[in-house]
Amino acid sequence: MGHNTRSSTGCPGYRQAALSRRAFLTAGALGGIGLSLSHYLALRAAAPLTLPSPPGGEGRVRGGPARAKSVLLLYTMGGISHHDSFDPKPDAPAEIRGEFRTIPTCVPGIRFSEYVPRLARMLDQFALIRSVQHNQTDHGVGAYYMLRGYPQPDPSLDRPENQKRANPTIGAHVARLLGSPNGLPPYVCVPGLSYLAQIDYYTAGWMGRAYDPFVLRSDPSLPTFGVPGLTPLADVSPTRLDDRVSLARAIDRHCRLLDASPGAKGLGTHYERAFQVLSASRTRRAFDIAGEPDRVRDRYGRTRLGQGCLLGRRLVEAEVPFVTVDDDGWDHHAQVFPGLKQRLPELDRCLTALLDDLRQRGLLQTTLVAVLTDFGRTPVINKSAGRDHWPGVFSVLFAGAGIRGGQVLGASDKIGAEPREGRVSPKDLAATLYHFLGINPFQEYRSLEGRPHKVLDEGRVIPQLVS
C-alpha cells in the first residue's frame, strides 16, 4: 500500500501528499512577504473571480433597488442598559430610574441619559427603535440572533470548533451575494478583539470559510497598530518582493505537473490573487489610519472603539460592502453606573463623529449605520448596583441611507420591561438590513453539503425606516 501511495497519481493519499507539499512550498515562498496561508484564507473573499457563485446559479437575487452601498454595523457586545442611555424612565422609582439625570434631545418630548449629550443633540439625524425584543438571555445566543436573524439552535455552537455548523451572519450573506467591487474583502471586522471575535462568532458557518470576514485582530488606537498579513516585511525591497512572488509562481507551476487535482489547480491562482490584495495600494490606503489628521483622530476619540469607528469609515470609503466594528465591555452586572460613565461618553463621541464625518464626505446617503447589542438590562437594579440580562425590551439605532432622522419607533412600558407598542424582532432588523442593500432576504440557496437554506426564514422590513 505504501508503494502505491508514492507511485500512483490516482491514489487519494498521493494527491493529498502532493497538495500538502505544494501548499507548504508555496506558503514558504510567500511567507517572506508577510502573507501566511491563514492570512490568505481570511482574505480570499477579496478575490471575486475565485469565489464560487451560489449553487444553482441564482447569483444575486434582488429585493428591490439598493438604497445603501455599504453597511457599517457597530456591535456592542454585553447589552447596553436602555434605562441609562436611550430609554430612561425619569418618573419611575429610584430602583428602576437609576442614578443618571436625563436631558432633552432635539426632538421635543424625547429624553436621553445625561452621558450621551452629543447624540441627544443629533437625534434629528438618526432613528431610534425602543421596542426590540427577543427571548435569548445569554450573550452568545443573544448575539447569534442579532447578528444572523436566526435564534441559535444548539448551545454547543458557542464553541469555536462548531461554528462551521452555524447560520451565516448577515455580513457573510452580503459577502456571498454582493462580493466586492474593487478587490478589497467584502466583509471586514474591526478591531476584531472582542470576545465574539475570539470565538469566531462572525463566521459564515455552513456557507464556508470563503465568506468569513477578514478579522483585523489589531487595536487601531495603539502606536503599534498594524494589519497582520497585509504589510510586507520592512526589510524586503520591491525587487526581492517580486523575486519571491516569481519563486512562488515557479513552485506552483512545478507542483502542478505532479498533481492535477482540482484543489491543487486552484491553489496557485488563490495565492496570486492574495498577493494582488496584499500589494494593492487601495488595500494599504484603506487600513492606513495613521494617515488621518490628528484632529480627525481626536474627534473620534483615541480609544479602541473610537479608532475602530474611524477605520470603519475608511473601509466604507473604500467601498467595502459590510463592515462590523465590534466592541464589548457593556456587561454591567455590578456597578453599572461607574461603568457607563466611562463607556457611554466613548460611544457618544465616536458615533456622532462617525455620522458627521460620513455626511461631510458625501457617504452617509449611501451608507447604512446600525448600532446593535445583545439585549437590554433588567429594570430593577440588583444588589451589586448593576443590571442583569434582559431581552424583554431594548433599544437600537439606525442612520444614513436616506433614513429620516428624528424618528423614535416603538415604545417600552413605564418601567422599561417590555414593549408597549411596535415590537421589533431580530428577524425584522435583519430583513431591514438586507432590504437596504437591495437583497431579497427570503431567497434560497444551498450549503456546501447541498442542503437548502434561506438567507432569512421570516421577518418584516420596518416600514418607517424605508418610507
Tell me the mean pLDDT in the region 47-72.
58
The domain total for the chain is 2
In this structure, the answer to whether residues 340 and 387 fall within a common structural domain is yes
408-409/127-132 β-pairing:
parallel
Q: Does position 56 have pLDDT exceeding 80, yes or no?
A: no
Q: Are residues 287 and 323 in the same domain?
A: no
Give every CB contact of residue 248 below 8 A, 6+ residues apart in sequence. 26, 29, 30, 268, 271, 275
312 and 419 part of one domain: yes
> What is the band of 237 on the pLDDT scale with cuts at 50, 70, 90?
low
Calculate the average pLDDT of the chain.
82
Residue 29 has pLDDT above 80, yes or no: no
Do 338 and 426 belong to one domain? yes
Domain boundary among 294, 323, 348: 294
Q: Is residue 315 part of a domain?
A: yes
Specify the pLDDT at position 452. 86
Return the pLDDT at 336: 98
Asked whether residue 285 carries a pLDDT value surpassing 70, the answer given is yes
Domain-located, residue 56: no
In whole angstroms, give the CA distance from residue 192 to residue 210: 18
C-alpha cell at 295: 484632529
pLDDT band at 39 (very low <50, low <70, confident <90, very high): very low
Over residues 155-183, the pLDDT tens digits come to 666 666 666 678 999 999 999 999 988 87
**Domain's final residue, options 253, 275, 294:** 294
Residue with cell 508555496: 26
Q: What is the pLDDT of residues 182-191, one digit of tens each?
A: 878 899 999 9
Structure confidence at residue 226 as a pLDDT band (50, 70, 90): confident
Residue 445 pLDDT: 82
461 falls within a domain:
yes
Residue 433: domain span: 64-221+303-466
Query: Does one domain contain both 188 and 278?
Result: no
Query: Does 358 score more than 60 pLDDT?
Result: yes
Question: Residue 126 falls within a domain, yes or no?
Answer: yes
Q: CATH number of the domain that 181 lies in?
A: 3.40.720.10
Burial of 31 (C-beta count, 10 Å sphere; 0-12/13-18/19+) = middle
- For residue 21, the model assigns a pLDDT of 45
Residues 177 and 311 in one domain: yes
Q: Is the per-residue pLDDT at 411 higher than 90?
A: yes
Cα 359 to its chain centre, rounded Å, is 21
pLDDT at residue number 342: 97
Q: Is the pTM of this model over 0.85?
A: no
Q: Would residue 75 count as lying in a domain? A: yes
* One domain, residues 285 and 381: no
In a domain, 7, yes or no: no
pLDDT number for residue 147: 97
Q: Is 90 inside any structural domain? A: yes
Average of pLDDT values for 260-277?
46
Q: What average pLDDT does the segment 438-456 reach?
A: 86
For residue 4, being part of any structural domain is answered with no
Residue 14 has pLDDT above 60, yes or no: no
Residues 387 and 417 placed together within one structural domain of the fold: yes
In this structure, the answer to whether residues 254 and 128 fall within a common structural domain is no
Phi then psi dihedrals of residue 117, to 5 deg: -65, -35
- Residue 210 shares a structural domain with residue 245: no
pLDDT band for position 360 (50/70/90)?
very high
Asked if residue 321 and residue 179 are part of one domain, the reply reads yes
Asked if 450 and 337 sit in the same domain, the reply is yes
Domain end position, chosen among 259, 294, 329:
294
pLDDT at 228: 67
Residue 232: pLDDT over 90: no
Indicate the pLDDT class of residue 153, thresholds 50, 70 and 90.
confident
How many Å apart are CA 197 and CA 180, to the nearest integer? 22
Q: Give the chain as a 3 state SS string.
A: CHHHHHHCCCCHHHHHHHHHHHHHHHHHHHHCCCCCHHHHHHHHHHCHHHCCCCCCCCCCCECCCCCCCEEEEEEECCCCCHHHCCCCCCCCCHHHHCCCCEEECCCCCCEEECCCHHHHHCHHHCEEEEEECCCCCCHHHHHHHHHHCCCCCCHHHHCHHHHHHCCCCHHHHHHHHHCCCCCCCCEEEECCCCHHHHCCCCCCHHHCHHHCCEECCCCCCCCCCCCCCCCCCCCCCHHHHHHHHHHHHHHHHHHHHHCCCHHHHHHHHHHHHHHHHHHCHHHHHHHCHHHCCHHHHHHHCCCHHHHHHHHHHHHHHCCCCEEEEEECCCCCCCCHHHHHHHHHHHHHHHHHHHHHHHHHCCCHHHEEEEEEECCEECCCCCCCCCCCEECCCEEEEEEECCCCCCCEECEECCCCCCEEECCECHHHHHHHHHHHCCECCCCEEECCCCCEEECCCCCCCCHHHHC
